[in-house]
Chains A and B, each alone.
Chain A
Amino acid sequence: AQKITQTQPGMFVQEKEAVTLDCTYDTSDQSYGLFWYKQPSSGEMIFLIYQGSYDEQNATEGRYSLNFQKARKSANLVISASQLGDSAMYFCAMREGTAGGFKTIFGAGTRLFVKA
């Protein structure tokens, strides 16, 4: 069963505008972590932001924020004031498990195009 779902294969946004990338997840664990990574055309994977399942506040890191809605099992990434350098693939990931193992799985990704 698909545990991480990113329903937007591609998104366009105008430079300087905000964009939301969707991510829903499925888990029966109470304790888990949610991550977003960016993969530019160079191929490197860049960590952006983390949200813990027990965190009451939405995570923020500079222009990135995570809109965490636990009951809906969604963890959408919001990028404010988009820049041309934000054009990349974005992956949502979930780490679940206990001390016996912390497997991390990724969604299929969303390709973001920022228009000048």
Chain B
Amino acid sequence: GAGVSQSPSNKVTEKGKDVELRCDPISGHTALYWYRQSLGQGLEFLIYFQGNSAPDKSGLPSDRFSAERTGGSVSTLTIQRTQQEDSAVYLCASSLLGHSYEQYFGPGTRLTVT
């Protein structure tokens, strides 16, 4: 079946512009995660959605970052007034609900802020 997809694969934007990153999780996966990975670094947790529950936004670095998940499926991560330090790969993952289920990752969106 289809895996997690993300679009765009690459995004170059000017400082101060807003960007939207999209994630299509695997059908039936109720949990969806966004992470940020700077070059050569680990995965920084941003936000987690589970079904219809309120999302865990504890990892969002500033109020310029927001995310939504419509209909329990597609998710959009929005970064307003982008800064150069926002340049990174943004990874989306989905999983079934529970401790034992691994996450399936998308290919990521590489964001470059000039």
Interface residues of A (CB under 8 A from B): 31-33, 35, 43-45, 47, 50, 52-53, 91, 93, 95-97, 99-109
* B99 engages A103 (CB within 8 Å): no
* B107 engages A106 (CB within 8 Å): no
Q: What is the interface of chain A mostly: helix, strand, loop, or mixed?
A: strand
Give the size range of B's interface with the partner.
20 to 34
Contacts of B41 in A (CB 8 A): 108-109
| Assembled-state Cα–Cα distance A91/B53 (Å) | 28
Is B100 in contact with chain A by the CB < 8 A criterion? yes
**What is the number of contacts between chain A and chain B, taking CB atoms within 8 Å?**
58
Smallest CB gap from B30: residue in A: A102
| Assembled-state Cα–Cα distance A44/B37 (Å) | 12
Contacts of B99 in A (CB 8 A): 31-33, 52-53, 95-97, 102
| Assembled-state Cα–Cα distance A95/B56 (Å) | 14
| Assembled-state Cα–Cα distance A31/B100 (Å) | 10
* A45 engages B105 (CB within 8 Å): yes
With contact pairs A33-B100, A47-B102, A52-B99 given, residues A103 and B108 touching in the complex (Cβ less than 8 Å): no
